[in-house]
Amino acid sequence: MNVTILLLTLLIGALATYFSGKSAAKVALIVGVASFVECIFLICQQQQGVNVGFLAQWMNTPNIHIALNGDGLGLSLVLLTTLLTPLIILSSFESPIEKKNTFYALVLFMAFAMAGTFLASDGFLYYIFWELALIPIYFIALLWGNDTFEARKKAIIKFFIYTFAGSLFMLVAFIYLYQKAGSFLLQDLYDLNLTSREQYWIFIAFFLAYAIKIPIFPFHTWQASTYEKAPTVGTMLLSGIMLKMGLYSIIRWQIPIAPQAAKELMTTVIVLSLIGVVYGSFIALKQSNIKRFFAYSSLAHVGLIAAGTYSLTLDGMRGAVYQMLAHGFVIVALFFVAEIIFRRYETRLINEMGGIRQQAVKFASLFLILTFASVGLPGTFNFIGEFSLLFGLSQVNIWYAIIGGTSIILGAFYMLRMFQKSMLGETNSKPFADLTKIEGFVLGVLVIAILFLGVYPKPLTDLITPSLVEIMTQIK
């Protein structure tokens, strides 16, 4: 059994969902859960030393393979994808959605493309998955989004053009690499001996694609408006999984292919990432719309992850992978919180909330745990992630860690203030029903994942460390 099964499940599942008419939501959920089970099974196999990768020739000229990598790094992110996808699908069960079959088919198709991106180890195949992931989210955001059509069209098209433009430069880089290596296979690209000038340009081309996707300052301008206008499911997919494609690709593709350039440009990219951390935090303070608020807080968090990966230390990279998962869990849960409030109050403005805790104790308690997790309180998975990231950064330059550390302090400030404004205070005059079973289940699973990995991250460490060590040797 290898990873193709997982991808086929998602792809065929997407088709089946499209043709299943009214029961589309249930079919999609079953497919999502099935892929999660398969993923767990694959990880167990991989841990026992079975090779779960896949390799076959696709085209002779040019020399392109269908190559899927079954190592721990890719699988850990596939785990994130397959865990979040069914939860995201489940979270939308109580939302009014038109044309359910198309909607859920697009969600599954996107999960397929994202899982493919995490698994592909042939540059060309990787690029195709990377681009394929963009099309479903474009339609999800455009057709099922909030606000008037004209208003969201502007934001979503900006998002699409930005990311598409960035990735085309990556394509040029890949074509150039192919001319050199005669193959797109990851290992062949690793083995290239590029001059430092070549590496420099390759690094920049990749950086454009990833910096826009993640986003890193100053390529972030599409983010907040897209998150705001997209439907909650779309926002969850974007922030929870899709932006991890960029972070993952830095570790998998950009740094090992152009290690020397990564060392030379380290200061620049880390400083850009850290600007994003501070900038995101400050802008978040000023936001009145809860979705925009989470978008900017997310900008700050991913900035720190990017800085950690570019530190080129094992701790930094390991922290980055931890934090990718942790951030994925928390941000999806937080956007779901925003959706839950919206379902009851029909508002996304923080000022119009407040005094919810007395009416919905369960909800407020879960939200509090999530707030603490987002802040990185010890005991949550995010703490482990942020700690490793900062530790990795401090090995490069202690000031990076100090500036990065401000994100925790600022984060604590704005997150707790937001919690206070929205949940505490005098009992709200409008009634607020506590969580339904589905809402409770989704938030519960995410909180359990965060707390469990916060206390016992060893399985994940065992999974990702070998591949990261391999990449580190490649960099050296």
Partner 1 sequence: MNTLIAIGGLAVLVLIAEIINLRKFIIPITIIGLLGILGLTINDFGLQATYFNNMIVVNKFSTAFNSLFIVLTIFLVTLSGDFYKDQLPKISDYISLKLFLLMGAVSMVSFGNMAMFFLGLEILSISLYILAGSNRKDIRSNESGMKYFLLGSFASGVVLFGIAFIYGATATFDIGEIFKLAINGGIPKWYQLGVVLIIIGMLFKIAAVPFHFWAPDVYQGAPTLTTTLMSTLAKVVAIATLYKLSLILTLSMPEAYITALVFISIITMTVGNIMALRQDNIKRLLAYSGISHAGFMIMALVNLAQSEASLFYYATAYALAGIAAFTVVIVVCRGKSEELIEQFNGLAKRSPLLAAVMSIALLSMGGIPIFAGFFGKFFLFSQALEKGYITLVIFGVINSIISIFYYFKVILAMYTKEVEENASELQIPLSYKVVGVVAILINIVIGLYPSFLLDIF
Instruction: Please give the residue ranges that form the binding site for partner 1 (CB under 8 A).
Output: 58-62, 127-128, 131-132, 135, 139, 142-143, 149, 153, 157, 160-161, 164-165, 168-169, 171-172, 175-176, 178-179
Tell me if 237 sits within 8 A of 140, measured CB to CB. yes
Distance CA 134, CA 137 (A): 6
Alpha-carbon gap, residue 139 to 131, rounded angstroms: 14
What minimum distance in Å lies between the beta carbon of 175 and partner 1?
5
- Nearer to partner 1 (CB atom), residue 2 or residue 117: 117
Smallest gap, in angstroms, from Cβ of residue 432 to partner 1? Answer: 34
Q: Give the span between the Cα atoms of 55 and 63, in whole angstroms.
A: 13
What is the distance between the alpha carbons of residues 341 and 197, in angstroms, rounded to a whole number? Answer: 52
Smallest gap from residue 172 Cβ to partner 1 (A)? 6
Q: Prior bond to 218 cis, omega within 30?
A: yes
Find the shortest distance in angstroms from Cβ 105 to partner 1.
Answer: 13
Give the shortest CB-139-to-partner 1 separation in angstroms. 8
> Tokens 């779901």 — which residue?
336
Q: Is the CB of 41 or the CB of 58 nearer to partner 1?
A: 58
- Alpha-carbon span 432 to 425, nearest angstrom: 14
User: What kind and span of H or E run contains 211?
Assistant: helix 196-213
Residue with tokens 């949550």: 380
Whole-number Å distance between alpha carbons of 144 and 349: 20
CA 297, 299, 305, 310 dihedral sign is: negative
Please, what is the minimum distance in Å from the beta carbon of residue 447 to partner 1?
A: 37
How many Å apart are CA 130 and CA 145, to the nearest integer?
22
Burial class (CB in 10 A: 0-12, 13-18, 19+), 164: middle
Q: Tell the smallest beta-carbon distance from residue 377 to partner 1 (Å).
A: 42
Using the minimum distance from each CB to partner 1, give the nearer residue, 229 or 301.
Answer: 229
475 alpha-carbon distance from chain centroid: 24
Q: Cβ 221 to partner 1, closest distance in Å? A: 17
Length in residues, the chain: 476
- Residue 32's alpha-carbon distances to 24, 81, 85, 184, in angstroms, are 12, 10, 6, 31
How far from 363 is each of 93, 231, 326, 371, 445, CA to CA, in Å? 18, 21, 20, 12, 14
Q: How far is the CB of 160 from partner 1 (least distance, A)?
A: 7
Q: Which lies closer to partner 1 via its Cβ, residue 132 or residue 416?
A: 132
Q: CB-wise, 52 or 202, nearer to partner 1?
A: 202
Judged on CB neighbours under 10 Å (0-12, 13-18, 19+), 195 is exposed
